[in-house]
Amino acid sequence: MSVRTGLTTLIAVAAVFTLTSCGGESQGSTEQAPVEISVKNLAYAPNSVTVHTGQTVTWIFEDQGMPHDVVFAELGIKSDLQGSGTYSQTFDKAGTFTYTCTPHPNMTGTIIVEG
């Protein structure tokens, strides 16, 4: 469950941890915390997150009327949204992936995917 508090620091911390079942015997199931990145004020926040393979990252466009996108040049991926809504990407392989905003090339971010 994700609670939006406006504090992107909480999102960055949640991205590092996974929730496991508590109790006497392990069930073997793991639920990964959602990872959200705010696109606002000409910045991605947080601009670097670490996730596990198979995890999905969601960018939330919060700059009303400001054109933004998410482009992973080395993967040939570009978000199909421009400045509103959300964009999600699931990372199926380990590596470090840099993304940028086409209209604002100073906006960059990094997704670190661990196996």
Q: Would the pTM count as exceeding 0.85?
A: no
> How open is the CA angle 84-89-6, to the nearest 5 degrees?
50
Identify the H or E element spanning 16. Answer: helix 8-16
The 10s digit of each residue's pLDDT in 68-114 is: 999 999 999 999 777 789 999 999 999 999 999 999 999 999 999 99
pLDDT of residue 31: 64
Q: How much is the pLDDT for 30?
A: 54
Which tens digits make up the pLDDT trace of 79-88?
A: 977 778 999 9
Span 29-50, average pLDDT:
88
